[in-house]
Structure 1
Amino acid sequence: MIVLSGRCVVLTGASGGIGAPLAGALVRRGAHVIAVGRQAAGLEALVDQHGARAITALAADVTDPAGRQRVASAARNHSASLLVLAHAQPAFGLFDEQPERLLRSVIDANLIAPMLLIRDLMPVLANHRQAAVVAIGSTLGNLAHPGFVAYGASKFGLRGLIEGLAREHADTVVTFQHLAPRATRTAFNSAAAEAMNRELGVTHDDPAEVAERLAWAIEDGERRLQLGWPESLFVRINSLWPALVDKSLSKKLAIVRRHASARNPNKDRLEATHDQA
């Protein structure tokens, strides 16, 4: 268990749909948050809402070496003991229609950047008697879904990274947590992805409620968590009887392809945004 009161937390994706309420949930538990994101206006809004004593705004792109260096420097200066990775880049679409630049960008944002940021901050975290790295994952990192192949692959990789590090550092002061929300009502998904989710009957959670649940899980030290029912059940079934999930999802392919295809006239242009999760 980790008491957040009095700790400094580095939070990436802090101005995003889950990141912003998560910053608030951490502050309410007494933490000082280094709020990292690409959008300075969103970060300053957090400062206005919670106060400069609770939030340090740090505009930085974690996919850029200079940006990561700024984050590491701030973590050292504030003696951070928690790193919460809540940034992500979406990539809804059919895999064979997605350009190489998008595929590389998604892996860079969702896997390579977290990997390098963790490596850079480990010396800072290791200076404490108790520290943690928390990755905000996704159901799609536990359960592969058509239409989200590249995004899911990046999130599967993130989950593997955290699990491997947890085992490699099992005898150290740093613990590793992978917490996976299900679909959440934020601006993260494109209009086409939201339309598909509506047709498939996907349940969306309130971001403020998700943030509270995540903050509780961080304090409680939960190593693995999948939020939502029946998503948590599907993840379990997928690990034991994947053929059942194969059969279920195959029945939805026509709907997925209709919404995910680049030929869909209503499909939003995919945009790179690292500030939501």
Structure 2
Amino acid sequence: MRPQAARVLLTGAGGGIGQPVAHALLKAGAAVMLVGRSSERLRALAAQLAIDTGVNDSRINCQEADVTRIEHIARLASQAQAWQCNVVVHGAGLPAFGSLKTQDSMQLQAVLQTNLVAPMLLTQALLRHLQQLPHAQVICIGSALGRIGLPGYSVYSASKFGLRGFAEALRRELRESHVKVQYLGPRSTDTPFNDARVGDYNRATGTAVDRPERVAIELMRLLRSEAAERFYGFPESFAVRLNGIVPSWLDGAFKRHSRQLPGAGSRLDANAMPRHMLD
């Protein structure tokens, strides 16, 4: 789809990736509905985006919503339909890092609810509307970890593997419709989404880290191309392909990653878990 024709509902608009994505969409000519949990933060973001991109305020819409609450999803879907949304970008998400034995059960449930269940429910709520349009797209911002299971990311990978599976199956289900379902798989990205432990882990394992603006660039390419999936960066894009063919071949390649995991003493408090991507 040409960005100039896009009316994009963007969840997680206030997050470290959401903000540059919103900027890129507006700069390219799209209209954007910013979705987040704080109306005050959304209004401030909208004002800043209008200044930074030089766009008319009429192309920016703000909707306060917590996508983990079913009643908020229903209201948001109604608002998006009235606004004539034709592109949905699922950008809201929560992190989960560390060995499985250190994961808090409340955090585990929240990650799956936010990263997987919420996009499924919001897509379902909007699907009838999207199918009535001459052209529509649903873009799931996932992760390379939705194709590669990495030590320390069992919970996060589960949510992103699920999101990729959802996108793949729904894409095939809607093949004869005008709705394109797509999956974007960024590699590690430098945002407040990741805490200091992740930074230490990435440095110790030699993991490449991109700026969030790179994600925005790749999302715009995906929007225009309408391709099914997009992974980028070496060696991650190669590992994605290899893991898809013979996943067991990579099992021994991550010993260093396993050894760099924080110990059980780093157990997270669910009440202190980062929420940046939801805003």
**Which residues of 2 match residues 57-72 of structure 1 at below 5 A?**
57-72=62-77
Q: Which residue of 1 aligns with 2:265?
A: 263
**C-alpha distance after superposition, 1:54-90 (max 9, x if no partner):** 2111121001012112211221111111101011111
1:232 maps to a residue whose letter is S
**Cα separation, 1, equivalents of 2:201 and 2:242:** 23
Aligned residues: 272
2:186 maps to a residue whose letter is P
Q: Which residue of 1 aligns with 2:248?
A: 243
More displaced, 214-223 or 176-185?
214-223
More helix by share: 2
**Which residues of 2 match residues 38-77 of structure 1 at below 5 A?**
38-51=37-50, 52-77=57-82
C-alpha contact 2:187 2:233 (8 A) present in aligned 1: yes
**Which residues of 2 match residues 195-206 of structure 1 at below 5 A?**
195-206=200-211
1:179 match: secondary structure: strand
> Under a length normalisation based on structure 2, what TM-score does the superposition of the two structures give?
0.92
1:53 match: secondary structure: helix
More displaced, 151-160 or 220-229?
220-229
How far residue 106 of structure 1 moved from its aligned partner, in angstroms, is 1.1
> Under a length normalisation based on structure 1, what TM-score does the superposition of the two structures give?
0.92
1:188 match: secondary structure: coil
**C-alpha distance after superposition, 1:195-228 (max 9, x if no partner):** 1111111111111132022112111112111121
1:11 match: secondary structure: strand
Q: Which runs of 4+ in 1 moved over 4 A?
A: 267-270
Q: Which residue of 1 aligns with 2:26?
A: 27
What 5-or-longer segments of structure 2 have no aligned partner? Answer: 51-56
**Cα separation, 2, equivalents of 1:6 and 1:166:** 21
**Cα separation, 1, equivalents of 2:120 and 2:5:** 26
Evaluate the alpha carbon distance shift between residue 191 and residue 88 of structure 1 in structure 2; reply closer, same or farther with a 3 A threshold: same
Q: Which residue of 1 aligns with 2:53?
A: none
How far residue 94 of structure 1 moved from its aligned partner, in angstroms, is 1.3
C-alpha contact 2:142 2:186 (8 A) present in aligned 1: yes
How far residue 274 of structure 1 moved from its aligned partner, in angstroms, is 6.2
How far residue 41 of structure 1 moved from its aligned partner, in angstroms, is 3.9
Q: Which residue of 2 aligns with 1:275?
A: 277
**Aligned-pair RMSD on alpha carbons?**
1.9
